[in-house]
Amino acid sequence: MSTKIAISVKVNGLVYDWEVEPRLLLSDFLRHDLGLTGTHVGCEHGVCGACTILFDDEPARSCLMFAVMAHGHEIITVEGLGTIDHMHPLQQAFQEAHGLQCGFCTPGFLTTLVAFLKENPNPTEEDIREAVSGNLCRCTGYQNIIEAVKLAAGKMQS
Ligand code: FES
Ligand code: FES
């Protein structure tokens, strides 16, 4: 029998007071307990970036963290970036520049790049390539993702 631990965590602006097993991964907590399946799980060992979330505004691999580590912290998942009616400018740019195909990697790219553009609102192409170097995409060949980030940077400055 395992003992559950009480945690309180803010996710996309809502506070969740929850009880979790100590071994529960943060990615599984978000997906299975909270139903936020926009956070995807690919490699489950920190390589692909599909599970990236914003943890206190910093990109983090949720497959490498336990849910208990989120106690007292704030998380934003892809669901918290925008809605279909009110997309984040980066989401709009991904749509307009065809920065996704199957979409499996997209939540991880978006969360990574939202933080990146906040820190570097006027990036060079080299900066963007560096920023996405930790996220794997099997479909796009990356070029349209780069174009989407350039487009988003322009949108966010205007
Ligand atoms: S699922 Fe977390 S980095 Fe791949
Ligand atoms: S769009 Fe399919 S993995 Fe990136």
pLDDT digit string, tens, across residues 10-19: 999 999 999 9
CB 133 within 8 A of CB 116: no
Tell me which ligand sits closest to the C-alpha of residue 138. Answer: 2
pLDDT in tens, 35-53: 999 999 999 999 999 999 9
The pLDDT value given to residue 54: 98
Query: Does residue 138's CB lie within 6 angstroms of at least one atom of ligand 2?
Result: yes
Question: For residue 151, what are its two tokens?
Answer: 């487009």
Model confidence band, residue 1 (pLDDT cutoffs 50, 70, 90): low
Q: How far apart are CA 45 and CA 68, in angstroms?
A: 18
Going by DSSP bridges, is the β-strand pair 5-11/74-76 parallel, antiparallel, or unpaired?
Answer: parallel
CB 134 within 8 A of CB 49: yes
Query: Does residue 111's CB lie within 6 angstroms of at least one atom of ligand 2?
Result: no
For residue 126, CA distances in Å to 62, 106, 129, 151, 156 come to: 26, 20, 5, 15, 19
Q: Ligand 2 centre from 62 Cα, in Å?
A: 19
The reported pTM is 0.96
pLDDT in tens, 97-115: 999 999 999 999 999 999 9
pLDDT in tens, 82-92: 999 999 999 99
Ligand 1: residue of 55, 63, 111 to mutate (most ligand atoms within 8 A of CB) is 63
Ligand 2: residue of 47, 95, 100, 109 to mutate (most ligand atoms within 8 A of CB) is 100
Q: How far apart are CA 137 and CA 143, in angstroms?
A: 11
Neighbour tally for 103: CB within 10 Å: 14
- Could you write out the three-class secondary structure of the chain? CCCCEEEEEEECCEEEEEEECCCCEHHHHHHHHCCCCCCCCCCCCCCCCCCEEEECCEEEEHHHCEHHHHCCCEEECHHHCCCCCCCCHHHHHHHHCCCCCCCCCHHHHHHHHHHHHHHCCCCCHHHHHHHCCCCCCCCCCCHHHHHHHHHHHHHHHC
Average pLDDT over residues 55-63: 98
Ligand 1: residue of 61, 78, 136 to mutate (most ligand atoms within 8 A of CB) is 61
> Could you identify the atom of ligand 1 that is nearest to the CA of residue 44?
1
